[in-house]
Each structure stands twice: as structure tokens, then as C-alpha cells.
Amino acid sequence: MTTFLSAVTADHFDTEVLQQHWIPLAADDADTAAVLRERLGIDFTAARRQVRESDNFLYLPVVAGYQRGETIERVTIVFALDGEFLVTLQPSEHFVPFDKAVAKMRRNPELAGSAHGVMYALLWALNEASERVLYHAGDALEALHEEIEQALGSHDRTEIADLRDAMSRLDATARIVARTRETQLQLARTARHLVADAPATHGELSDSIGLLLADIDGVKEHAGVEYDKARYLQQSATSRLGARQNDFVRVFAVVTAVSLPPTLIATCYGMDLTGITESPWQLGLSITILLAVVAAVVPLAYLRKKGLLR
């Protein structure tokens, strides 16, 4: 087998070669799972959430994100690795990110010569998928920034309704970035296990995995930058929206302070004072008007002093 694989060139790469070391297992393929359990002792039941090691296989789960159209999907990939085989528990439908791994192995056929080489290519593809997710999220954040700025600068009720929708999409984008950071932590953990498990004869592969670890860390830092952008945009939009609400409250306070005295005067004129002994008093109406004016001036003076009339 080793002689045959070493003779494979990039011009004659055949994906069937991968079957000698890589067994993709669809999540809903119970029959194949039963065969693998019987022949190789592979059991994914307890390995979907945490690293697990059995007598023959090392199980490494990764919750990966990838872009499909305009949506971001998240799936759990579980790697089961031993010295000869790599079995991946993956989605039932065609998993697009692994196409990049196959293309990489077509360019570097020696990777298909071992289970560890195949796993390196698959981890590389997942890391590339994470980076594309971050670029998608970055573009979404730029568009949301412009949309929120436009909505905050408008007094149209429709724009305010659009602002709520934009804030909701901003929260969703921030969650995508945060989950990508988690994915990078899991990829780094898996790559470190791969380095530790790789045979000593795979010196070049160990160097490649070291470079992959650096790339994974770089994507994680990129995710941190995008997450900070999302948080800043959230805080900025929230504070500016709060300032606008304070402006509305100030306007209502001024309107109330100005309209209350005329309301008081109208109330006095609408009262029936026939049975009240003080009603003939000629100065009563003048004093009522004077008190109403004072009642209007005092709140206005207070609001002006507090700077609420600017």
C-alpha cells in the first residue's frame, strides 16, 4: 500500500485512494456505523461533545461553521483516528468544506498516504471555512453599520422599525463570530492531539501541522477583532438610541411644563362658582391668572437652569 501511494502523482490523483485511509460516515448511515463498530470497534456514541480515547481510536469532536449561500451553518464533525484509518462522523448531505481538503490532497498526493495526512488536510479545510465565515461576518457588520447610522439619523417611524431589525441581525452576527472563536479553540486542540499522535517518521507533516496551528491562531485573532467590532457597534447604537429617547423625554417634559398652566386657567374658567362666597371678589380672577403665570414660569426657569431647553 505504501509503495502504491508514494507512486501517486498530482496528475493521476484518484479520490478512491482516500478510501484506503479515510472513511466518511454519514450521520444517518446506521448500517455503515454498525459495520464499523463490528470490524474496527468504532463507537461515536460518547464522543460527540468531548475528546475520548479508546483502545484503538482517538475521538476528537469539532463544532465547525461554514458558509452555504448567504447563511452560516454549524455542524459537529467527530474524528476517529488510529494508526491506519481516519473515520469522520459528518452531516448526511454533501459537506462542502471537505471539497477543499480533497483539492489540497490532489495538489499534495503524499497527504493521502496516511490517516494523519488526511486529517491534517481536513482540519486545514475547516480552518479555511472559519476564515470565510469571518469575512462574511465582517461584510455584514459593515453593511449593518451603515444601516444603523442611517436609521439613527432619521426621524421616520419606518426607519426606527428598521433599526430594531438591524439590531437583531447585529446580535445574530455577533453570535456567529463568538461561535467561530469557539470553533478555533476546538480546531487548535484537535491539531495539537494530531501532532502528539503522529508517528515520528512524519517530520514534514508535523511541520505542516505546526504551521496550521499558527493559521488557526491567526483566524482566532481575526475572530476576536470582528467580535470587538460587533460589540462596539452594539454599544454605540444602544447609547445613541438611549440619547434619542432622552431627547423625546425632554421634549415631553417641556411640552407638559408649558401646557399645564393654560390648562389650569381653562379649568378655573370652567368652574361654577355661584355658590362660593369668594366668587364676587373682583381680584380673584386676576390672582388666579397671576398664579397660573407663575406656575408656568417657575418650571421653565428650572428646566432652563438644568439645561433641558437647549
So what's the pLDDT on residue 98?
Answer: 93
Q: Sorting pLDDT into bands at 50, 70 and 90, what band is 2?
A: very low
- In this predicted structure, what is the pLDDT of residue 127? 97
> What is the C-alpha to C-alpha distance for residues 16 and 243, in angstroms, rounded to an integer?
63
pLDDT for residue 250: 65
Three-state SS at 76:
strand
Q: What is the reported pLDDT for 10? A: 39
The candidate with the shortest Cα–Cα distance to 78, out of 16, 113, 33, 39, is: 33
Q: What is the pLDDT of residues 82-114, one digit of tens each?
A: 888 999 999 999 999 999 999 999 889 889 889
Residue with cell 495538489: 107
Residue 8 gets the label, from left (phi > 0), alpha (psi -120 to 50) or beta, of beta
| 153 vs 117, more confident | 117
Task: Tell me the three-class secondary structure of 8-63, residue by residue.
Answer: CCHHHCCHHHHHHCEEEEECCCHHHHHHHHHHCCCCCCCCCCCCEECCCCEEEEEE
Q: Are 26 and 92 in contact (CB under 8 A)?
A: yes
**Cα separation values, 2 from 20, 117, 121, 166, 297, Å:** 10, 13, 19, 56, 96
pLDDT at position 6: 36
Statement: residue 225 has pLDDT above 90: yes
Strand positions, DSSP E, the chain = 22-26, 52-53, 58-68, 71-81, 86-90
pLDDT over threshold 50, residue 17: yes
Residue 59 pairs in a beta bridge with 52, 80
Q: How far separated are the first and last CA of the chain, in Å rounded?
A: 84
Q: Which residue has the higher pLDDT, 64 or 272?
A: 64
pLDDT for 148 equals 81
pLDDT tens digits, 115-146: 999 999 999 999 999 999 999 999 999 998 88
Q: Edge-to-edge strands of the sheet including 71-81?
A: 22-26, 86-90, 71-81, 58-68, 52-53
* Number of neighbouring beta carbons within 10 Å of residue 134: 23
Please give the grid coordinates belonging to residue 185: 479553540
Each residue's pLDDT tens digit, 171-208: 999 999 999 999 999 999 999 999 988 877 677 898 99
Positive or negative: CA dihedral 192, 194, 197, 201: negative
Rounded Cα distance between 63 and 141, Å, is 23
> Which stretch of 149-153, 164-168, 283-287 has the lowest confidence by average pLDDT?
283-287
More confident residue, 69 or 307: 69
Does the pLDDT value for residue 3 go beyond 60?
A: no
247 has pLDDT over 70: no
pLDDT at residue 271, as a whole number = 62
If you average pLDDT over each of 30-34, 153-157, 165-169, which comes out highest?
Answer: 30-34
Supply the pLDDT for residue 5. 35
Please report, for the chain, how many H helices and E strands are present, in that order.
Answer: 7, 5
Mean pLDDT of the chain: 81
C-alpha distances in Å from residue 39, one per residue of 43, 90, 94, 164: 11, 20, 25, 56
Average of per-residue pLDDT across 14-21:
70
- Output DSSP code: residue 109: G
Q: How far apart are CA 44 and CA 59, in angstroms?
A: 8
pLDDT per position as a tens digit, 253-278: 667 766 766 676 667 666 665 555 55
- Looking at residues 61-80, what average pLDDT do you find? 93
Question: What is the model's pTM?
Answer: 0.74
pLDDT for residue 253: 65
> Per-residue pLDDT for 78 more than 80?
yes
The fraction of the chain above a pLDDT of 70, given in percent, is 72
For residue 256 the three cell numbers come to 407638559
Amino acid letter, 184: Q
Give the pLDDT of residue 8.
37
Indicate whether 7 pLDDT > 50. Answer: no
Which pLDDT does position 149 carry in this prediction?
A: 79
Q: How many CB atoms lie within 10 A of CB 143?
A: 13
Could you give phi then psi for residue 272, rounded to 5 degrees?
A: -95, 105
